[in-house]
Each structure stands twice: as structure tokens, then as C-alpha cells.
Amino acid sequence: MDLSAINPILLLASLMVAATPILLAAIGELVVERAGVLNLGVEGMMITGAICGFIIAVATGSPWLGFIGAAIGGAMLSLLFGVLTQFLLSNQVATGLALTLFGLGLSALMGQGYLGIRAPSFPDWHIPLLGDIPVIGPIVFQHDPMVYIGLLIVASVWFFLNRTRGGLILRAVGENHDAAHALGYHVRRTRMLAIMFGGACAGLGGAYLSLVRVPQWTEGMTAGAGWIALAIVVFASWKPGRLVLGAYLFGGVTVLQLNLQAAGVAVPVEYLSMSPYLATIAVLVIMSAGRAPGSLGRIFHAAR
């Protein structure tokens, strides 16, 4: 065992990278759930985004175009969920689970010819001045742009939900869809847009895995990240600020336990592997006090 092999600065720096895919997927799902829709297909949309982004990035050589493709891919898949649940009034839980299975299969099919290829490199940003600050610089300000875009999306979602009329309407639709309909708001339209935003964010999260974190394509590479994102949304009480905390906590413990494994700590690997899940759930359960949006998961039918 050699704990001195763990570099605390590198550890903290990789925390932000490890948390980003979950953060992206979770912030999308948060918006979907605040609009009153429970989409359990996050895992499927993530992996579809991962392969879509990978294919486009390899084909064009541009990771940026890859991310855009991933967002579109995730949104397209979520559109399927949206049409099924909002217009054909199918059960949201069953449809979401089916979406996950479908996404896993679809991505495996699309990724046939892409196994073992490396993604085009996505260089880290070395933010001038800020990146030069000792200790803090390498931890916070020397990452790839998607880390910051993820945080920017979270901040924008917070602002949208709490400070804009559109966000108020979205929350109203999620809180009581019958009342929102009676006041003349378009419940389906709002929800479809929220679902597509959620799909796009999940796609970005998936592409972050295949283009930055790994960075290559393997089948089933999301390995449950979508489910963690779903859990974090609930335990964060549907609040963007807590979502960041939950995602970073999860990312942090993941990186720490990997380092501990590498350092050969005398704890069975299985316990180390489960530690991020336990720590995240424990902390967020203790903190959670919020209540779910009133119409979450309920089917809206305008005639009633």
C-alpha cells in the first residue's frame, strides 16, 4: 500500500471530469421531471448520445461536431419517448425502461464498426491567468471545455426555472397539469420541449464518456451512469444546486476509490467499488427535504 502515490491535486482535478457525464444527464432529467414527466430512459439516451457523438467526431475529426451530434441523437431518441407518452398516452415508467433497452441495443448496432478506434483528441483548456493560480488552477481551471459547459447549463437551468416566465410555466405544468391547462398553457408542448432538452443533455453526457473520459467506443460503456443521474435528481430534491453537489460527490468518491484501489489499500475491491453509490445516496438522503413535482409521472389527458 502506498498512499503517497495519490496526488491530491490530480485527484481533485479528475473529480470534475468524473462528475461531468452524470451532471449533464442529471440536469436534463431534472428539467424533464420538473415538467412532470418521469423518463427512465436516461441510460438509453446517454449511450445513444455516446455512439452518435463518437461516429460524428470520427467522421468529421471534430469533437465539437461530435457533441452536437450526440445532443441531436439523444433528443431524437427522447422524441420517441415523448410521442409515446404525451400523444399516445403510454405508461411513462414502462416506456422509459423500454427506451433504455432500445438505446443499449441501438447503440451496439450503430457502433459495430467503431470498436477499438480512438476518438479525435479534445484538448484541455488552459484558461489564462486563472489556470496559472497554484493548486486551484490545475484543479478547477485546466479542464476541457465541456466541464465548464456542463456547469454553465446547470446555472442556466437554475436561472430559467427560478427567474423566467418560461421556467415558471414549466414548473406550473409539472406541479398541476390540469390547472395549467385550465389557464391556457400548452402542457404537451411544454413537456415535449422539456423531454427533448433532457434527451439532448443525456446525449452530451454520453458523448463526454466516449469522446473525453475513455475516449473510445465500447458497448454498454455508460455502465449505469444514467441510473445514477436519475437517483441524483430525486435525492437532490429537484434543485439544480444540490444536483451539482450530488454529482461532484459521486465523481469525487469514484475517483478516490479508483486511486485507493491502485494504491492497494487493504479493503476488498467490491467495497471500494460500491462506496461512491453509498456515499452519494447517504449524503443526499440526509439532505433531501423537497417534494416531487405534483404531476410527476401522471398521464395528462386534456378532455378530463
Q: Which is nearer to another protein, 137 or 167 (CB)?
A: 167
Q: Which is nearer to another protein, 131 or 297 (CB)?
A: 297
Q: Which is nearer to another protein, 170 or 230 (CB)?
A: 170
Q: Which is nearer to another protein, 90 or 176 (CB)?
A: 176
Give the nearest distance from C-beta 175 to another protein in angstroms.
4
Q: Which is nearer to another protein, 213 or 239 (CB)?
A: 239
Q: Which residues bind to another protein, rule: CB under 8 A?
A: 165, 168-169, 171-172, 175-176, 178-185, 291, 293-294
Give the nearest distance from C-beta 57 to another protein in angstroms.
41
Give the nearest distance from C-beta 288 to another protein in angstroms.
15
Round to whole Å and give the CA distance between 40 and 21. Answer: 17
